[in-house]
Structure 1
Amino acid sequence: MRAMKELTGVTRERFEREVVPGYEPVVMRGVVAHWPLVAQGRAGLEPCLQYLMGFDAGTPVDAVLAKPDAVRAFTYKPELDGFNFMRDKRPYAALFEQLWRYSHFPDPPSLAAQSALVSEALPGLAQANVCPLLDAQVAPRIWIGNRATVPAHFDDSHNIACVAAGKRRFTLLPPQCAPLLYLGPPDHAPTPAPMSVVPDLHRADAVKFPRVSEALAQAHVAELEPGDAIYIPPLWFHQVEALAPHLNILVNYWWRPEAAPGRPDDLHPAAMRLAMLALRHLPDGEREGWRALFGHYVFGARGEQLAHIPEGQRHLFGDVDAARDAQIRDDLATQLKR
């Protein structure tokens, strides 16, 4: 394992010039230390929850509850035939009351409300706690709970995650570690993101999961305090441990650039699942042929490799405007309906 890169005094200009293009995780100390939410988080569980209740719209949010155990992870059941937690929807008032009660237990269940859209659940909170690194239209989400772990998984979006209360440990691994992480099926995971079946990489059973040690040799690890933020590049695996026993709050921002003017950049997970479906039945030799063609058409055909085609005649090899993007999507949708 290695320590994660850390920066202080990060401005938006430095973030866009230095952090995002580097395609590696970066801890940005103190970026949101000015937030009122951070001040309330430092004050303690009750003041922080009272502050949040001042923004509560009463909207039910997704909540998960798991029995206490040594790992405290929201993960698969041992046989992978389900998950080890219950999921329901409840208003923040009920969740906060339960967190307060659990704060008096020596070993409480793990409870969290995950990925609630701030504008819907806590209107006004985002305006009172502004991320200085992003445009206001990048919608924040909030994660509130006690001590728990989310196993290693990846997202296809850029991500800034800001610790507002408690403490979190982040373990990040590059996408190339995928074969070492014992990933579950992409269409059967505890969250919408594909996830490792290993509940906690740092406590992995070396006999059952021997490749994890090789993955951890490439891991970047950091602990964040209130006011700190981390940039997680797209496709980097991340295990996130909420460490404070009673209250941990994270506010995160996911975003992607536009694929074409007015067209969302949203096809990556669908493209991967479609490729798995389309190529799964082929013999090994033909699958290797498709691997080579994907390497060229999807990842390799740039610069000098396209010099033989006039720029105005590159079609899908070149720039795609919104109209052409829409036409291609429609063509693909028609083929999928056959």
Structure 2
Amino acid sequence: MKPMLERDGVTREIFEREIAPVYQPVVMRGLVKHWPLVAQGRAGLQSCLHYLMSFDKGAAVDAVLAKPGPSRAFTYGPALDGFNFIHDKRPYAALFEQLWRYSHFAEPPLLAAQSALVQDAMPGLEQANACPLLSGDVLPRIWIGNRATVPAHFDDSHNIACVAAGQRRFTLLPPQCASLLYLGPPDYAPTPAPMSVVPDLLRADPQRFPLLAEALEHAVVAELGPGDALYIPPLWFHQVEALAPHLNILMNYWWRPEPAPQRQDDLHIAAMRLAMLAFRHLPDPEREGWRALLGHYVFGARDEALAHIPEGQRHMLGDVDAAFDAAIRQDIVDRMKP
């Protein structure tokens, strides 16, 4: 593994010009060190929880709880026929009280409230602790818990993750490592994102998961403290370890580029699942043929590869307006009807 690229003094202009277009993860040290939440996180568990409660409106949020174990990961069960945690909804007051009690345990159960939309759960917190790199319409989510690991997974959005309290270790791998990470089914995972069945890439059994050694040759790793932030490009696998024993807080921002007017930007995972259904029954030689055609039509047919077709006659290979986009989608829906 290699250390992750780091930048200090990142501004919005630098981020948009030099970081986001490169498709590489970058640690941005001290990006949100000015946040009041970071100051409260540095002050300790009790001070930080009191600060958060001043924004809490009492709404129930998603929470997960798991028994302590060697990996301390929210992951699949041993037979992959379920998960190793229970899930419920509870108000932050109950969660914070539980975190406080668990802070007196040498090895407490794993507890986390994950991915709550801040403007709904703690309105005003997002304005008092704003990300300087993004516009206000990119809404943050908050993750609060004790020491635990989320195994390697990917998202199809851009992501800026800001550590507000505690310590986090991020291990990132490019999408090309997918075949080496022992991924579970895309439609059955501990989180909405497809995930590796390996609870912890850094402590895995090499006899059981021999391909991980090659994957980790491509991995980059970084530890972030309060005030630090990380840019994660779409589709990069990331294992996230919350390292502080009693309290770790992350605010993250997911976004995708603005789609064309009246068009949605929501087909990526759905298209992958549909392709899995469409090609799975074909014999291997035919599947390889489709791999070549997808490589051309989906990923390769642009610029010089289209020079033989007049621009006005490129149809799906050219510019697609909202009406044409809607017609293609409807044709696909119609073809899928029994």
What TM-score bracket applies, with the shorter chain setting the length?
over 0.9
Corresponding residue of 1:46: 46
Q: Give the C-alpha shift of residue 313 in structure 1.
A: 1.9
Corresponding residue of 1:61: 61
Residues 34-70 of structure 1, C-alpha deviation per residue, up to 9 Å, x if partnerless? 1111111111111111111111111111100000111
Corresponding residue of 2:265: 265
Residues 121-159 of structure 1, C-alpha deviation per residue, up to 9 Å, x if partnerless? 111111111101011101100000000000000000000
Corresponding residue of 2:234: 234
Does residue 141 of the first structure (1) align with residue 141 of the second (2)? Answer: yes
Corresponding residue of 1:4: 4
Inter-partner Cα distance in structure 2 for 1:186 and 1:202: 23
The aligned amino acid for 1:126 is E
Inter-partner Cα distance in structure 2 for 1:234 and 1:111: 27
1:263 aligned counterpart, secondary structure = coil
Inter-partner Cα distance in structure 2 for 1:324 and 1:50: 53
The aligned amino acid for 2:191 is T
Inter-partner Cα distance in structure 1 for 2:169 and 2:271: 31
Task: After TM superposition, list the pairs within 5 Å mapping 1:226-305 onto structure 2.
Answer: 226-305=226-305
Structure 1 residue runs of 4 or more that deviate by more than 6 Å after TM superposition = none
Residues 146-191 of structure 1, C-alpha deviation per residue, up to 9 Å, x if partnerless? 0000000000000000000000000000001011100001111000
TM-score, normalised with respect to structure 2:
0.99
Task: After TM superposition, list the pairs within 5 Å mapping 1:77-226 onto structure 2.
Answer: 77-226=77-226
- The change in CA–CA distance for 1:135 and 1:264 in structure 2 (over 3 A counts) is farther
Root-mean-square deviation (CA, aligned residues, Å) is: 0.8
The aligned amino acid for 2:274 is L
Contact 1:260 1:320 in 2 (8 A): no
Q: Give the C-alpha shift of residue 300 in structure 1.
A: 0.4
Deviation larger for 307-316 or 217-226: 307-316
Contact 1:75 1:190 in 2 (8 A): yes
Task: After TM superposition, list the pairs within 5 Å mapping 1:28-47 onto structure 2.
Answer: 28-47=28-47
Inter-partner Cα distance in structure 2 for 1:78 and 1:10: 43
Residues 304-336 of structure 1, C-alpha deviation per residue, up to 9 Å, x if partnerless? 110111112212111222222222222212222
Inter-partner Cα distance in structure 1 for 2:76 and 2:207: 19
The aligned amino acid for 1:128 is A
Q: Give the C-alpha shift of residue 263 in structure 1.
A: 2.2
2:261 aligned counterpart, secondary structure = coil
Kindly, what percent of the aligned residue pairs are identical?
78
Inter-partner Cα distance in structure 1 for 2:126 and 2:333: 37
Corresponding residue of 2:73: 73
Contact 1:157 1:233 in 2 (8 A): yes
Q: Give the C-alpha shift of residue 258 in structure 1.
A: 3.1
The aligned amino acid for 1:140 is P
The aligned amino acid for 2:327 is Q
Aligned length: 338
The aligned amino acid for 2:70 is A
Residues 94-140 of structure 1, C-alpha deviation per residue, up to 9 Å, x if partnerless? 00000000001111000000000111111111111110101110110
Q: Give the C-alpha shift of residue 225 in structure 1.
A: 0.5
Corresponding residue of 1:14: 14
2:272 aligned counterpart, secondary structure = helix
Q: Give the C-alpha shift of residue 217 in structure 1.
A: 1.1
Contact 1:257 1:264 in 2 (8 A): no
Inter-partner Cα distance in structure 2 for 1:90 and 1:242: 21
Inter-partner Cα distance in structure 1 for 2:113 and 2:86: 12
Contact 1:258 1:264 in 2 (8 A): no
Contact 1:30 1:228 in 2 (8 A): yes
